[in-house]
């Protein structure tokens, strides 16, 4: 079943922020805190520092009304710079690639800062900033990721 989440970007303090939110909402993480070092290696990618490798790649926390907060650390070493506007994303967890493609195509039309829909190790993913300045992320999780 499709669902919506709020995706937050942080500059190195995702773990602290999500432990704070966990305490405030009295809930538990819905997925284990995943670290950058847990990602499969990418050919040609630059070597990362130990601090970057320990950064949070992904975390998810249910809050209220079925809403989930998700988050990640942006890495300055990879050219990521946190600014107001790129720190919040509406994340759509979708049921099919067709549904993801349809929404990506509609919302990215006239937009900028696009990451085209593509297969990633966790599933099918893409992202865009729409023509009104709202950031959208599209995910169709692999079957083994949906149950973990």
Could you state, in order of their start, the residue ranges of all structural domains in the chain? 3-36+52-146
Query: What pLDDT, on the 0 to 100 scale, is given for residue 84?
Result: 66
Average pLDDT, consecutive stretches of 10 residues, N- to C-terminus, the chain (148 residues): 86 90 92 88 80 90 88 80 76 93 93 92 93 87 67
Query: What pLDDT, on the 0 to 100 scale, is given for residue 138?
Result: 95
Query: What pLDDT, on the 0 to 100 scale, is given for residue 35?
Result: 94
Query: What pLDDT, on the 0 to 100 scale, is given for residue 85?
Result: 66
Cβ-defined contacts of 30-38 (< 8 Å, 24+): 30/60, 30/61, 30/62, 30/68, 31/58, 31/59, 31/60, 31/148, 33/58, 33/59, 34/58, 34/59, 36/73, 36/75
Q: Fold for 3-36+52-146, please state it.
A: 2,3-Dihydroxybiphenyl 1,2-Dioxygenase; domain 1 (3.10.180)
């Amino acid at each position: 079943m499709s669902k919506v989440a709020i995706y937050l970007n942080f500059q190195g303090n995702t773990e602290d922020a999500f432990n704070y939110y966990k305490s405030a909402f009295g809930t538990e993480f819905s997925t284990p805190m995943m670290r950058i070092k847990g990602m499969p290696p990418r050919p040609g990618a630059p070597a990362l520092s130990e601090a970057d490798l320990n950064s949070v790649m992904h975390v998810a926390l249910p809050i209220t009304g079925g809403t989930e907060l998700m988050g990640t650390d942006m890495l300055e070493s990879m050219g990521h710079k946190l600014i107001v506007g790129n720190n919040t994303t509406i994340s759509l967890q979708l049921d099919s690639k067709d549904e993801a493609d349809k929404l990506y195509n509609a919302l990215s039309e006239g937009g900028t800062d696009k990451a085209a829909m593509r297969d990633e190790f966790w599933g099918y993913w893409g992202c865009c900033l729409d023509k009104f300045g709202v950031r959208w992320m599209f995910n169709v999780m692999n079957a083994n990721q949906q149950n973990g």
